[in-house]
Structure 1
Amino acid sequence: MPPRTSIEEFRELLKSSNRVLALCGAGLSAASGLPTFRGAGGLWRNHEPTSLATPTAFKRDPALVWLFYAWRRHMALKANPNRGHYALAELAKKKDDFLCLTQNVDGLSPRAGHPEAKLKLLHGSILDNKCFNDNCDYIDRNNLSDPVCPALAPAAEDYPPGQTIPLLDPYVPAPSIKVEDLLHCPQCKTGLLRPGVVWFNEPLDKQMLADIDNWILQGPIDIMLVVGTAAVVFPAAGYTQQAIDQGAIVAVVNPDPESGEGLIDEDFFFQGDASELLPKLFEGVIGKMDEHGKIL
């Protein structure tokens, strides 16, 4: 039997539910117009983006890595939260025992007003800066400066639609940036600041993971929402099964029809854009939402 697709049935379940866990991925931010991590063509200035997202790359060329992330910061700050972000934020406010886990680093969920205590940033935030020194715990949270420092101004320039951005053109030399002009740690005075995201070959925050596990084990979970993610990378991939083990009914929201595979007949699958579907799915709890994400 295929999973359920009735919005009305889901609304009734949500209204009667106490504990709800949500796991969100890039599909949540798609309607905000953010480019994917890899960008057009899968490369960034002929660099594989994954090759820039490592501590080794930062040690080797911190200016290049910072240019990449300063450009991504600029795109994130230009974007606005969409109705999906606002709907999740409103649901978090209405449901006392709600927790949202997001794999996104774009900062759009916090900007939508999602209560901090009910949001776990699995991979950190591109709007945070932290010291690269292992023995220094300095973090500058939610820095909205654009550019993040004067030396990185080329990454925060806008150009007319259709015009190739020089920073993204591999045939245009990258701006020359001195390491001494990058952000330095004000606490230890010796380390460079780096983007506050989790890079490849780095562990996720142990305390955050422990807090999530403790929440999951506190009691039965009524609904496991999986929004805009295939949830194939651990530990995110394991949270759906943990929720099922706690009795959860799974509800997947994703434009990809294959993302509903593996669901059973008591689960739900809603194929489409999260920014359009989440306000409809949550309407019985949060009320009607206008096109700007405001509750009517």
Structure 2
Amino acid sequence: MVSSIVPQTDLESFQAHLNQSTRILALLGAGLSASSGLPTFRGVGGMWRTHDATALATPQAFEANPGLVWQFYSYRRHMALKAKPNPAHYALAELARKKTDFITLSQNVDGLSPRAHHPPSQLKLLHGSLFDVKCSDFFCRYIARNIYTDPIVPALAIPTDESDPTTTSALARELDISDENVDLPEVDYSHLPQCPQCERGILRPGVVWFGEALPSSVMNDVDAYIEKNEKIDLIMVIGTSAKVYPAAGYVDTARSKGARVAIINMDPNDVPAAGLHKGDWFFQGDAAKIVPELLKSVIGDVNIEDMGDAAE
């Protein structure tokens, strides 16, 4: 039982505060997805260990070699689709339905929160999504969301070994065995996802790359929510240290508006930049187990089978 690893007094005091809270923020990081078995961005393994992931996640890299960048993101899309939303994703989605003035700010691009049917108007994806695509042409504004097709185009499919159809190729096997000695095939520009609107540009992943601004529409929504009222009751910081801005700034801003802070993390050292204050909670452990228990006084028991997966 989760209650055996969460101090009962802390659980009761958190739930008492949650029950009477109206304006609630949640800030999500990679630790939440780790509970679904998904590696972090820099933890993507296999052949990608011979590449610098941060060097692939730039507009310049895409311009220079869109085929290579798309293979990297196609791999990440595939891995994210192999993962499933965990009970914390579903619990947060249910809390959003119960508390209509609750919004979730996610730094994750893996699509797990949308797949858990988190109400879109209450989910702000700060860094975009692997499953959104947009045109790379400067003058085109085409964007498509929640594209779960895998692969997104045939050229990015994981090939099979024609000599033995019962096994997969080295490129396919590396998804499971992390073989870092796989040679990546060349992918012709014409075989990459094409923009159906302008018919000039190719589509790119709808994520925020290094050197790019966070999406203005999302940031404006978050700012409007924060500025709407003087008071915020609670901010939950789940699976992230919240030491990098703007994430750290949201914790500070919520606290300045009266919010109590609840941190859920595996690492006891992963606390916001401003540290822990009197009245904060720190719940150490697996978010997939702890979050549903913390929210149970509002959402009750969540049956994942009944909720379903939007990607299926």
- TM-score, normalised to structure 1, is 0.91
**Which residue of 2 is the match for residue 72 of structure 1?**
76
Q: Match of 1:35, SS?
A: coil
Unaligned runs of 5+ in 2: 1-7, 162-166, 308-312
How far did 1:43 drift?
A: 7.4
- Please state if 1:258 is matched with 2:269: yes
- Please state if 1:85 is matched with 2:76: no
Moved over 6 A (4+): 155-158
* Contact 2:47/2:179 (<8 A) preserved: no
Q: Number of residue pairs matched?
A: 292
**Which residue of 1 is the match for residue 128 of structure 2?**
124
How far did 1:232 drift?
A: 1.9
The one-character-per-residue Cα deviations of 1:205-263 (angstroms, maximum 9, x if unpaired) are 11211110110111200001100001122211210011011110011000111124711
- Please state if 1:152 is matched with 2:156: yes
The one-character-per-residue Cα deviations of 1:104-124 (angstroms, maximum 9, x if unpaired) are 000000110100000000000
CA distance in 1, matches of 2:304, 2:15: 20
Q: Match of 1:126, SS?
A: strand
* 1:100 maps to which of 96, 99, 104: 104
How far did 1:288 drift?
A: 2.0
User: Quick one: structure 1 residues 191 and 90, their matched pair in 2 at CA, closer, same or farther if it must change by over 3 Å?
Assistant: same
* Contact 2:128/2:206 (<8 A) preserved: yes
User: Quick one: structure 1 residues 49 and 155, their matched pair in 2 at CA, closer, same or farther if it must change by over 3 Å?
Assistant: farther
Q: Match of 2:27, SS?
A: strand
* 2:188 maps to which of 178, 203, 222: 178
CA distance in 1, matches of 2:160, 2:197: 26
**Which residue of 1 is the match for residue 206 of structure 2?**
196
* 1:281 maps to which of 272, 294, 303: 294
How far did 1:134 drift?
A: 2.2
CA distance in 1, matches of 2:256, 2:21: 17
- Please state if 1:270 is matched with 2:274: no
How far did 1:40 drift?
A: 5.4
**Which residue of 2 is the match for residue 20 of structure 1?**
24
* 1:46 maps to which of 50, 56, 75: 50
How far did 1:29 drift?
A: 1.0
- Please state if 1:9 is matched with 2:13: yes
* Contact 2:159/2:168 (<8 A) preserved: no
CA distance in 1, matches of 2:15, 2:175: 45
How far did 1:41 drift?
A: 6.1
The one-letter code matched in structure 1 to 2:280 is D
* Contact 1:82/1:292 (<8 A) preserved: no
CA-based RMSD: 2.6
CA distance in 2, matches of 1:80, 1:266: 34
Unaligned runs of 5+ in 1: none
CA distance in 1, matches of 2:103, 2:60: 33
User: Quick one: structure 1 residues 50 and 156, their matched pair in 2 at CA, closer, same or farther if it must change by over 3 Å?
Assistant: farther
Amino-acid identity (%): 53
